[in-house]
Amino acid sequence: MGYFTDSVAALAATMRNFFRPATTVQYPKVIRPRAERYRASFALLHDEQGDEACIGCLQCERICPSKVISIKGPVKKDSPITGKKRGYADDFTLDLSACIFCELCVQVCPTDAIVMTREQEQPAFAREDLVLTMAKLYANEKSKPRAWGDGTRLMEMQAIPKPPAPPKVEPPVAAKPDPAPPKPEAAPAPADAKPEAVAVKPAGAPIP
């Protein structure tokens, strides 16, 4: 009897879900709204003057726990924008198929050159299609919306807050002594009072 009731309960659950409206969407034609901090891919940025922000310092390559970042460089050459000599990455590749999306590469970047994006890459049938080359990373700068964080903001969040300043302690104020009570004034003598007689010793009397 137990098997029969369990089968009926399972069949009832199946029928309830069979008539429930579908919640799937046809990705990538239909994209659901993502959370504000959703992160899915990467992009390389240019600075305010239009020059490549990456200086090829290899910080992101060293800190990556999955070792999916490979950089050739740095190469010292004159900037085509400012004319000053600076470092450049000769080549930059990121294997997205093995990335764990920890965002450590973004956090350690000193120039905010690499950021994460909120839009995924197109589905692919080969792993090579998920390898982001330098050209793809710079193309993502304009084609995909950026995530909220960059290296500067993430490092500010990791900074240890300064302890509050100790309160100022004022020196104790010495208590003032209470003023002495005023002495009572002597009552005036009555007008009819006689002066007291003072005994005067005669001259030559022996001193006791």
pLDDT tens track for 84-130: 999 999 999 999 999 999 999 999 999 999 999 998 888 888 888 99
Q: State residue 137's pLDDT score.
A: 96
When pLDDT is averaged across residues 196-207 and rounded to a whole number, the result is 56
| 164 inside domain | no
| 182 inside domain | no
| 171 inside domain | no
CA distances from 159 to 7, 109, 116, 155, 156 (A): 58, 15, 21, 6, 5
Q: Dump pLDDT digits (tens) for 126-185.
A: 888 999 999 999 999 999 999 988 999 988 888 788 888 888 888 777 777 767 777 776
| CATH number, residue 93 | 3.30.70.3270
Q: Dump pLDDT digits (tens) for 41-54.
A: 999 999 999 999 99
| 165 inside domain | no
* Count of domains observed in the chain: 1
Of 139, 136, 113, the C-alpha closest to 60 is 113
| 197 inside domain | no
What domain range includes position 102?
38-158
| 56 inside domain | yes
pTM across the whole model: 0.65
- Per 3-state DSSP, what percentage of the chain is helix, strand, and coil (rounded to 5)? 25, 15, 60
Say if residues 74 and 86 touch (Cβ distance below 8 Å). no
